[in-house]
């Protein structure tokens, strides 16, 4: 075996030292598709962002006009602010789904039924749950009739027509739908933490809460990082919830308009593909900055531990 | 015998303590169940409300104070009304076709790409890897304007299912998950297969894929859920009722029935229930797959 390994172990390097086409053939389908559906579009969007363009007729070069218009466009600033506010959903989701995972990670009878119920929203699809929520929060909907019969409200509130509430309701929907999904990820992580660590913590005098603080949370680090990245990138791209809850309008006074929603509206409702491309470039820049900050923060945290 | 008794006797007193502890534990367990049920009500309530509303007849108020939960006059009329005006079964079929094709092709393409990145040495491996890494953070919505033009002018698949399949096949995320799994496969196994004369494709198929099966399942499940629920891009591509997928069809249904909430509720129920049954049936694999995405 040792002989074989010595002979073959160096084999791949020699055999595939740049001459063989095999690795490239394996990569070809992915790379070709990524080139067509990602790299080419990014390059064209960058080009379109300097043009006046409505998809139907050829683009016309206008230089920085679209970007100058962006700076002066209050709706764009509103959308940018809303998208950044939406990021607040991420820490909430992490805290709640972590707590849920710890609760559900218990040997109680029928626990798997509860686990299944908790991820029902995640698999039902954002359109279906968005429609359900829209009717729950309707002026004549369940929330109002329940609150009135409980005596909390005298008059029904038009929740979704209230500019100050639109974004909050959408965020609540995102959080509600995400908790079960992310809890499942944390749950799997919890089950990999050795029981002995909890025993050791107990011997050291930790109560239940302290045990989780000192054992579960550090043990779930990879999952927390993963959920943080995934859910914050999702928050930056939110669209479906806004689309359904505001009935394709983006809310009264653009109260629920996010960057992606505004991009969609400009490109596909108002036929301003050039202007929308400039919004797309800002979205890309926003995501880049956010990811760099993300990576920095994660690196720093790794250094200290 | 005497020794046994000697051992048992001092335990008599702790029995009382144990009993007290069991009482405490029962109370604690009960409290956990209360918390679990409360949470379940919060997650499931909107669906239950929709289901009950979809069964209400015209005599049943849907907007009343206090809210009425159970229909007095249960009926399936709302369902027939939806099915008469919109082809919900077609939406289903389209969703199944598009999602299955996307999942299969995406998993295949990612598994192919992940193998050389994990196990082969070749020129350009590092640049290609970092290029793929960078694509992870690009928001897909960015590409929709050019992809729209490609769909209409180049590929000529606007308003057909391929238009929502092809742009979603290549996924850097899937490539990474599979690359991680492939890296864990011992080199000895690959070398041994090479000694036996296996070509790379055969090694990929007979060594790598079987050993990375849990991750392959994870990738497939993730892709399936995302693709099944995808809305924005399909809503741009699919406009004919015969090509719509479920989320696009549902949005159309909401527009079509406007304020007929009973019909909308019936439509939502029809689309949600089958997928729920599917996921409850696959619960174990689904939970395992989701959890398998991240390893410590």
Mean pLDDT by 10 residues, chain B (296 residues): 47 61 84 88 90 87 77 88 92 95 97 95 92 87 93 93 95 91 91 90 93 88 88 95 94 88 91 83 70 56
Q: What is the pLDDT of residues A84-137, one digit of tens each?
A: 999 999 999 999 999 988 888 887 888 888 888 888 888 888 999 999 998 889
Q: Tell me, what's the pLDDT at A281?
A: 96
Rounded mean pLDDT of A53-72? 93
In a domain, A204, yes or no: yes
CA angle B260, A239, B220 (to 5 degrees): 100
Q: Tell me, what's the pLDDT at A266?
A: 95
Structural domain boundaries enclosing A183:
74-304
In a domain, A214, yes or no: yes
**From the list B109, B122, B288, which residue is nearest A30 (CB)?**
B109
| B65 touches A149 (CB < 8 A) | yes
Residues 6+ apart with CB under 8 A from B10: none
Locus of tokens 């739908």: A177
Q: How is chain B split into domains, by residue range?
A: 2-75, 81-292
Percentage of the residues of chain A whose pLDDT score is greater than 70: 91
Instruction: Say which CATH topology domain B81-292 has.
Output: MetI-like fold (1.10.3720)
In a domain, A28, yes or no: no
Long-range contact list for B210-213, CB < 8 A, 24+ apart?
Answer: B211/B181, B211/B185, B212/B111, B212/B178, B212/B181, B212/B182, B212/B184, B212/B185
In a domain, A48, yes or no: no
In a domain, A151, yes or no: yes
Structure tokens at A56: 């139907």
Give chain B positions within 8 Å (CB) of A185: 290-291, 293-294
Alpha carbon dihedral A165, A249, B265, B89, in 10-degree steps, equals -140
In a domain, A164, yes or no: yes
Structure tokens at A279: 């919004």
Q: Tell me, what's the pLDDT at A304?
A: 46
H-state helical runs in B74-171: 77-85, 88-119, 125-135, 144-149, 162-165
Alpha carbon dihedral A14, A20, A22, A28, in 10-degree steps, equals 130
CA angle A60, A277, A229 (to 5 degrees): 165
Instruction: For residue B132, give how far its alpha carbon lies from the nearest alpha carbon of chain A (Å).
Output: 9
Q: Tell me, what's the pLDDT at B2?
A: 45
Q: What is the pLDDT of residues A130-173, one digit of tens each?
A: 999 988 898 888 888 889 888 888 888 888 888 989 999 999 99
CATH code (residue A271): 1.10.3720.10
Dist. CA A282–CA A270, nearest whole Å: 19
pTM: 0.87
Number of domains in chain A: 1
Q: Tell me, what's the pLDDT at B267?
A: 92
CA distances B226 to A131, A183, A223, B231, Å, are 19, 17, 19, 10
- Give contacts of B 220-249 with A, CB under 8 A: 225, 228-229, 231-232, 236, 246-247
On average, the pLDDT of chain A sits at 86
Percentage of the residues of chain A whose pLDDT score is greater than 90: 43
Q: Do A236 and B191 touch (CB under 8 A)?
A: no
């Amino acid at each position: 075996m040792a002989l074989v390994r010595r002979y073959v172990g160096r084999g791949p390097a020699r055999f595939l030292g740049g001459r063989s086409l095999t690795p490239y053939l394996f990569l070809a389908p992915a790379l070709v598709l990524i080139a067509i559906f990602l790299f080419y579009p990014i390059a064209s969007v960058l080009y379109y962002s300097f043009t006046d363009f409505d998809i139907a007729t050829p683009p016309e070069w206008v230089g920085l006009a679209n970007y100058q218009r962006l700076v002066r466009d209050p709706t764009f600033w509103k959308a940018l602010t809303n998208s950044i506010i939406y990021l607040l959903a991420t820490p909430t989701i992490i805290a709640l789904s972590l707590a849920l995972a710890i609760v559900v990670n218990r040997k109680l009878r029928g626990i798997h039924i509860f686990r299944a119920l908790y991820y029902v929203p995640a698999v039902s699809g954002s359109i279906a749950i968005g429609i359900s929520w829209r009717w729950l929060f309707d002026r004549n909907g369940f929330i109002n009739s329940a609150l009135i019969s409980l005596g909390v409200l005298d008059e029904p509130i038009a929740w979704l027509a209230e500019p100050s509430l639109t974004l909050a309701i959408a965020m609540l929907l995102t959080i509600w739908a995400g908790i079960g999904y992310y809890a499942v990820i944390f749950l799997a992580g919890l089950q990999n933490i050795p029981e002995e660590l909890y025993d050791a913590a107990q011997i050291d005098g930790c109560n239940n809460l302290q045990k989780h603080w000192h054992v579960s949370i550090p043990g779930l680090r990879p999952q927390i990082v993963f959920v943080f990245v995934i859910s914050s990138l999702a928050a930056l791209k939110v669209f479906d919830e806004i689309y359904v809850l505001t009935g394709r309008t983006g809310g009264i006074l653009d109260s629920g308009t996010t960057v992606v929603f505004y991009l969609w509206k400009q490109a596909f409702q108002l036929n301003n593909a050039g202007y929308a491309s400039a919004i797309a470039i800002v979205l890309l820049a926003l995501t880049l900055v956010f990811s760099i900050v993300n990576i920095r923060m994660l690196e720093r945290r790794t250094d200290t531990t | 015998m005497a020794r046994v008794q000697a051992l048992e006797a001092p335990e008599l007193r702790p029995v009382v303590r144990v009993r007290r502890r069991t009482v405490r534990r029962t109370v604690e367990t009960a409290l956990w169940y209360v918390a679990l049920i409360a949470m379940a009500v919060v997650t499931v309530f909107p669906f239950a409300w929709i289901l009950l509303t979809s069964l209400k007849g015209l005599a049943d108020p849907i907007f009343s104070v206090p809210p009425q939960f159970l229909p007095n006059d249960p009926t399936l009329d709302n369902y027939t009304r939806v099915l008469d005006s919109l082809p919900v079964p077609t939406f289903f079929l389209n969703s199944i076709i598009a999602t299955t094709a996307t999942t299969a092709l995406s998993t295949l393409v990612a598994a192919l790409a992940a193998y050389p990145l994990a196990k082969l040495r070749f020129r350009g491996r590092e640049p290609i890897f970092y290029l793929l890494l960078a694509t992870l953070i690009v928001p897909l919505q960015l590409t929709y304007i050019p992809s729209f033009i490609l769909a209409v002018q180049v590929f000529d698949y606007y308003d057909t299912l391929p238009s929502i399949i092809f742009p979603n096949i290549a996924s850097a995320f899937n490539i990474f998950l599979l690359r991680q799994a492939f890296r864990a496969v011992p080199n000895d196994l690959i070398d041994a297969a090479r000694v036996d004369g296996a070509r790379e494709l055969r090694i990929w198929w007979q060594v790598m894929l079987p050993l990375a099966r849990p991750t392959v399942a994870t990738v497939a499940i993730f892709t399936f859920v995302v693709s099944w629920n995808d809305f924005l891009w399909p809503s741009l591509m699919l406009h004919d009722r015969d090509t719509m997928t479920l989320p696009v069809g549902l949005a159309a249904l909401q527009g079509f029935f406007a304020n007929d909430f009973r019909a909308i509720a019936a439509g939502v129920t029809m689309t949600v229930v089958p997928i729920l049954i599917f996921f409850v049936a696959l619960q174990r694999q689904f939970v395992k797959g989701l959890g398998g995405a991240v390893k410590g």
